Amino acid sequence: MLDVALLSVLLVAIAIGYGLGYHQAGRRRHRSLSPSAPSQALSRDYFVGLNYLLNEQPDEAINTFINVLAVNSDTVDTHIALGKLFRARGEADKAVSIHQNLLARPALSQHTNEQIQLELARDFMALGVHDRAQRLLNTLLEHSSDDELRYAAKQLLVDLLEREKAWHQALEVIQPLFKQHPKLRRPAAHWLCELAIEEISEASRALAKKHLKKALQLDESCVRATLLLAELEMDNGHYGRAIGRLDNIPRQELAHIPTMLPALKNAYLRRNDVAGFEAHLYRLLEQAPYTSIIISLGQLVHQRDGVDKAIELVGERLRAVPSLGGLDYLIDLYIESQRLNGKSSPDTRLLLLKHHTDALLLNRTRHRCRHCGFASDALQWQCPSCRYWGTIKPVIGVEGE
C-alpha cells in the first residue's frame, strides 16, 4: 500500500507529467518539426519514474523526476517540495542536496532564494548540524525584508537555541515577539526556570530568585516557577512564606495540586504544624477532590486516630470520587485493620483485590501531555514528543487523581 510520502510523490509526478504534456503540445503547435528526440526522452523518463513509483521504489522515482524537471521559476516550488518530502522521510541529506542545488542557480529571485535558505536551515537542523543552520538563519534575519519569512526564521532559530540550551540567547531572540505573539511567554518563562536551576546549583540564589519572579511576570500560571520559589524559601527556613507560595498553585493550575503536595507537607512538618497541614488539605479537597489529597488526609488520621477512623474517612470520600489509587490504599487499610483485630491472615478476597489493584497501578499512566497525549511516569516540564512546555500534567480520573 502506498504511504503518504509515496502519495505526495505521485501527485508531484502527475504535476510534472501534466507540465511536460503541456509544453510538448505547445511545441507541436508552434513548430513544424519532426518528433523531438528530447521530448520523447522526457516522456519516456516520466513513465520510467511512474513505473518506479508503482513498484514501490520511491528513491528511484524521485531521482528520475528530479532529473526530468529542469530548475526554473515555474518548477522551483516543486523542487522545494521534493526537498521537504525527503526531510520528512528522515533523509535530510538528500534534502540538502536538492536545496543546495537550487541555491546554485543565479536566476532565482531574492524571495525564492531566501525561502530555499530557510528550508536548507531546516535540513541542517534535522541532520543535527546546528552551527550551519544558525549561520543561515542569522544571515536571513540580517538581510531579509520579508516579515513573514523573518518570523519563521526567528522561530527556527529559537528552536535551535532551545535544543542547544542557550537560554540567554533564546530569550534575546524571542523577547521582541511577546507583544504580537503572547503564547511565546510560556516557553520563555520555562527558560528562565532553567536558568534559575543552573544558578541555584552555582549558589547564585539571589539571581535565581530574580529570574523566577520574572518568569511569573511573563506567565503568571507558571507552576514550575512557583515551586522553585517555594523551595528557595524553605532552604532559607522561611516555611510560612513557602506555604504562601504553594498556596498560589491551585489558582495557577488545579491539576498540579498533586505535584505540590510533597513540598507542602515538607513545609508544614518543618514548622511542626501537623494540624495546619490537615486544615490545608481539607481546603484543597474542597477545590479538587483528588486521590493524593484523600490519601494524605487518610495518613494523618491513621497516625492520630487509628486505622478504623482512616477507613471511615477514605471510604466516605471515595464514594463521591472513586479512583483506582484510592481503592488500593483503602484495601491496605482494611488488611491492616484485620491484622490489628487478631486475624492471623487477611481475607483472601482482600488479597486478591490487592493483587489486581497493584497490577493495574503498575501499568497506569501518571502524567500525560495535554497537547499531544505523550504518556510519562514522572513529571517533565517539556514534552519530549511535541516539545511544548508546561503541557504535561497529572492524569485526572478513575485511573489517576
Residue 231 to residues 23, 177, 242, 367: CA-CA distances in angstroms? Answer: 71, 31, 7, 22
Q: Is 193 annotated as a binding residue?
A: no
375 phi and psi, to 5 degrees? Answer: -100, 140
> To 10 degrees, the CA torsion angle through 294, 296, 299, 304?
-100
Residue 54 to residues 49, 51, 60, 121: CA-CA distances in angstroms? Answer: 9, 5, 11, 32
Residue 238 to residues 224, 231, 232, 233, 270: CA-CA distances in angstroms? Answer: 19, 10, 9, 5, 10
Cell readout for 62 is 524521485
Query: How far apart (Å, rounded) are the C-alpha atoms in residues 99 and 80?
Result: 7
Distance from chain centroid for Cα 348: 45
**Residue whose C-alpha cell is 497529572:** 394
Q: What is the DSSP string of 42-56?
A: HHHHHHHHHHHHHTT
Query: How far apart (Å, rounded) are the C-alpha atoms in residues 353 and 335?
Result: 11
Residue 165 to residues 170, 183, 337, 387, 391: CA-CA distances in angstroms? Answer: 8, 20, 52, 13, 19
> To 10 degrees, the CA torsion angle through 123, 124, 130, 134?
-80
Give yes or no for a contact between 245 and 230, defined as CB atoms under 8 angstroms apart: yes
Which amino acid would we find at residue 352? L
Q: Is 386 annotated as a binding residue?
A: yes
Residues 107-132: b if buried by 16+ CB within 10 A, e if exposed: ebeeebbbbbbbbbbbbbbbeeebee
Cell readout for 353 is 483485590
* Cβ-based neighbour number of residue 305 at 10 Å: 12
**Residue whose C-alpha cell is 542536496:** 97
Residue 349: partners with Cβ closer than 8 Å, 6 or more residues away: none
Query: How far apart (Å, rounded) are the C-alpha atoms in residues 171 and 241?
Result: 29
Q: Which residues are annotated as a binding site for Fe cation?
A: 369, 372, 383, 386
Q: Which residues are annotated as a binding site?
A: 369, 372, 383, 386
